[in-house]
């Protein structure tokens, strides 16, 4: 009798279990994304000027304009460091007279995370003014100062400086 009951339960289960099976169907999707290392620099102005005053009164002449806003946007690889550098192409030159003011007489002060606090321009090699080892948008401000010296000949001087961002 026990065998018959067991058989009955077994038959019942065999017929009914499929009906009560959970009705789910699944599919897998693989998602891939590539993020490339890249960088970008944004500078708020392309021109700054200095107006000379009496050297006895002011040793450092600040730029006439508001501080330059610099935004460095970087996507870095792990363990990669990004550098912001500045370099002058030439000394300050008066094209009419050919007189020069050594570019190292232009100093700078910076504020912002990752920016160096201060330094001076050079035409020999790019000078690091900031560095970051993490992806993100990094903002800072930069003010240039001209060292005021009695030795400068009167004139209108100009030069070009270049900002570069790179991973070396």
Name the site residues for another protein (rule: CB under 8 A): 1, 4, 8, 11-12, 15-16, 18-19, 23-38, 40, 73-78, 80, 135-137
Q: Closest distance between another protein and the C-beta of residue 54, in Å?
A: 46
**CB closer to another protein out of 71 and 99:** 71
Phi-psi category of residue 13: left, alpha or beta, with phi > 0 → left and psi -120 to 50 → alpha = alpha
Three-state secondary-structure class, residue 127: strand
Q: Closest distance between another protein and the C-beta of residue 11, in Å?
A: 6
* Distance between CA atoms of residues 120 and 103, nearest Å: 8
Residue that the structure tokens 């058989």 belong to: 7
**CB closer to another protein out of 15 and 51:** 15
Q: Closest distance between another protein and the C-beta of residue 36, in Å?
A: 4
Q: Which CA distances in Å does 85 have to 111, 116, 137, 138?
A: 15, 11, 17, 14
Q: Closest distance between another protein and the C-beta of residue 56, in Å?
A: 48
**CB closer to another protein out of 76 and 122:** 76
**CB closer to another protein out of 32 and 54:** 32
Angle at 59 between CA 55 and CA 90, to 5 degrees: 95
């Amino acid at each position: 009798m026990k065998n018959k009951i067991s058989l009955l339960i077994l038959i019942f289960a065999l017929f009914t279990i499929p009906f009560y099976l959970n009705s789910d169907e699944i599919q897998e999707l693989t998602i891939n994304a590539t993020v490339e290392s890249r960088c970008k620099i944004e500078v708020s102005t392309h021109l700054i000027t200095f107006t000379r005053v009496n050297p006895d009164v002011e040793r450092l002449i600040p730029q006439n304009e508001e501080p330059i806003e610099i935004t460095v946007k970087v996507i870095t690889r792990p363990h990669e460091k990004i550098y912001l550098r500045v370099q002058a192409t030439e000394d300050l030159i008066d094209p009419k007279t050919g007189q020069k003011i050594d570019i190292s007489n232009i100093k700078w002060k910076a504020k912002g995370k990752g920016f160096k606090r201060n330094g001076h321009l050079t035409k020999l090699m790019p000078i690091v003014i900031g560095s970051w080892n993490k992806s993100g948008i990094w903002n800072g401000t930069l003010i240039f100062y001209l060292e005021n010296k009695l030795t400068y000949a009167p004139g209108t001087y100009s030069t070009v400086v270049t900002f570069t961002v790179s991973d070396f």
